[in-house]
Chain A
Amino acid sequence: MTHEKSNIRYAVELRQVDKIYPGTPPVAALSDVSFSVVHGEFVGIVGASGSGKSTLLHVIGTLTQPTNGDVFIDSINTNGLSDRALSGLRAKSVGFVFQEFFLLPGFSAVQNVANGLLYSGVSSAEREERAKAMLDRVGLAHRMEHRPNEMSGGEQQRVAIARALVHDPAFVLADEPSGNLDSQNTSAVMDLFTKLNQDGTTIILITHDLEVAQISTRQVTLKDGRIEGHPDMLSGVVHE
């Protein structure tokens, strides 16, 4: 775990990551991907359908392990960590936002947001308190006790974003967060991301929509599982 640039603390760092799905023929969803994200960045990862965006998100989010290469989260090498350690790492350092929101039906907005802290060893009273504060921050103070089926898509996605942020993660991973939203709700959610980033949240936004990707401060293109573009674009350090 030696960093050449040891003075820099990355939120995410990928080194020569391959992800090959076994099968006939095997699919190389990611090939030799190296790139990094510094704390405070807002990175957009764009690419066509099937280019490997979701695979990259899952690898960064430690939901699946790369076939080759190393993934560092908050400077911790995830290689060889146990299920419990990886889960703990996700509970502490990663916030997920999905295209489908994945809110639990039958639970209020507060309860759904509090679930973001469920596996991090925080008392239930504190979970609720922090969930309320976070809902307030995403502009849903008036929707605390509403259930997902009583909210619009945009509101549901903002609840999901609150859930991704409530445990104060090192970075937020968003996979097509506006994929299920109309243009009005899309811009509301994107404005929220911009505001959160300005307040210091590190965001990695994955989308096939170039227009949406424009709101990020740095874009990385994925094509057939490979990162494209000038090498300088691949590290937030150079960009800064």
Chain B
Amino acid sequence: MSDRSQNQRDVLRSHLSFFDLVRVGGSGLKTRKLRSALSATGIMIGIAALVGVLGLSSSGSADLIKELDALGTNLLRVEAGGGFRNSPTSLPADAVFMIERITPVYEVATVSSIPGAVYRNDLISDGRTQGISIKATDLNLLATQRGSLQAGVYLDDVLAQFPAVVLGSVAAQRLEISELLTPKQIWLGNNWFRVVGILNPLPLAADLDRAALIGYGIAEDLFDYDGIAEVIYVRADPNHILDVREVMAATVNPEFPEEVQVSRTSDVLEARAATRNTFTNLFVGLGAVALLVGAIGIANVMVIAVIERRNEIGLRRALGATRFHVGAQFLIEALVLSGIGGLAGIVLGLIITAVYATFREWSILIPEYAVFGGMLGSLVIGGIAGLYPALRAANMSPTEALRTS
């Protein structure tokens, strides 16, 4: 008898292969294409926002981080200021000497302002300075800044003694000098100077982009430079940069350390990255809200589908579908909906990232976790949204479901 009932139970078994289940689950959408598409848009927008934001922030910060790595975070800028005395202050004459005695310091380069204006030639020296300042500087400034040349050469031992000038990138633009294939001269502090080099932008010292750089030798000869550095750039061991910063003010001016301003030049760039992170968080939040709305949309559409397709549920039960088959059908339908939304969202997010990054001339970098996470996330959302409607469909009594009117 038990043998028989075992046998019976094997015969009495409703079957539906996984493939058929998926097909049945997907087929419910094809007669309701517009509604399905609309209900998937919430997920699409949410996933697109997340993928786009993650893609953009990593594309953007990839460049920032690359830039930071290249420029280093171990450059300090030392200058006078911030004291309590009202008289204009300056750094002590032996500042450079003192700084060089700090052990982790690699390199020191100074910059000093020279009064005077810069013009293309002596005929238009009418007072319109174009905002270009004259700076005397050390020969190792370019190396200290990790800068590079657009054209020509940088100052050297010899050029520093002669009326030779290297232009910052903005200064060169304003003087309308873009190449040095033919000799160029400019009218600098009432003297003719030969332009020997043009710099690329210096991200760690943007003020130098608008400067005309000359050697200390010629500065003493022509402009009575007094030998006191105005700004000192200090490269130090990255592992000890904070210690160096700590002792800097007291080292430079033991008497009035509060009159020495010390800043880390890379902080500006890092602040920029941090700002971008805040924006990222904001958009991630907005994306999450869109996903929530999308989940509610799918749950809503599925609940309506279960009510509308009551007769279909009854019919399938009559044809031999188990509770599980009916529940799984509606769950899969919700998963297909959210999966389509997620897929469309990922594609849209990638397009947004690619277009915007290209526009900003960033290198495109899309983190894998954004793509896989987006797909997985949308399926999880679909599963959660589809769970209640699926249970409702599964638990519907067949006779109730077959009722018309």
Chain A contacts to B: CB under 8 angstroms = 58, 61, 63-64, 76, 81, 83-92, 94, 96, 98-100, 102, 104-107, 115-116, 118-121, 124, 163
Instruction: Please judge, given known A-B contacts A64-B397, A102-B314, A106-B31, whether A121 and B15 are in contact too, CB under 8 Å.
Output: yes
A91 touches B31 (CB 8 A): no
Which residues from A are CB-within-8-Å of B398? 58, 63-64
A102 touches B311 (CB 8 A): yes
B15 touches A119 (CB 8 A): yes
Tell me, in angstroms, the Cα distance from A117 to B321 when the chains sit together.
Answer: 10
Closest beta carbon of chain A to B150's beta carbon, Å: 66
Closest beta carbon of chain B to A9's beta carbon, Å: 15
Residue of B nearest to A122 (CB): B15
A96 touches B399 (CB 8 A): no
Scan residues 300-324 of chain B and give those whose CB is less than 8 A from a CB of chain A: 311-312, 314-324
A63 touches B399 (CB 8 A): yes
B402 touches A92 (CB 8 A): no
B404 touches A85 (CB 8 A): no
B31 touches A100 (CB 8 A): no
B320 touches A87 (CB 8 A): yes
Mark contacts of B15-40 with chain A using CB atoms, 8 A cut-off: 1 yes-contact digit, 0 otherwise: 11100100010010011000000000
A115 touches B402 (CB 8 A): no
Beyond known contacts A84-B12, A90-B320, A119-B15: 18 more, CB 8 A cutoff: A58-B402, A63-B317, A63-B398, A63-B402, A76-B8, A84-B324, A87-B14, A87-B317, A87-B321, A96-B318, A98-B315, A102-B311, A106-B27, A107-B27, A116-B319, A118-B316, A119-B320, A120-B320
**How many A-B contacts are there with CB distance less than 8 Å?**
101
Which residues from A are CB-within-8-Å of B128? none
A58 touches B31 (CB 8 A): no
The listed residue (A89, A99, A115) touching B12 by CB distance below 8 A is A89
Which residues from B are CB-within-8-Å of A105? 31
Tell me, in angstroms, the Cα distance from A76 to B10 when the chains sit together.
Answer: 13
**Interface residues of B, count at CB 8 A:** 33
B318 touches A124 (CB 8 A): no
The listed residue (B12, B24, B314, B317) touching A85 by CB distance below 8 A is B12
Which residues from A are CB-within-8-Å of B311? 100, 102
Residue of B nearest to A59 (CB): B399
Tell me, in angstroms, the Cα distance from A58 to B400 when the chains sit together.
Answer: 11
A83 touches B323 (CB 8 A): yes
Which residues from A are CB-within-8-Å of B13? 84-85, 88, 121
Closest beta carbon of chain A to B189's beta carbon, Å: 85
Tell me, in angstroms, the Cα distance from A84 to B320 when the chains sit together.
Answer: 9
Those 6 A-B pairs whose CB atoms lie nearest each other, nearest first: A91-B320, A121-B15, A119-B320, A106-B31, A87-B14, A85-B12
Closest beta carbon of chain B to A126's beta carbon, Å: 12
B70 an interface residue at 8 Å Cβ cutoff? no
B14 touches A84 (CB 8 A): yes
Tell me, in angstroms, the Cα distance from A121 to B9 when the chains sit together.
Answer: 15
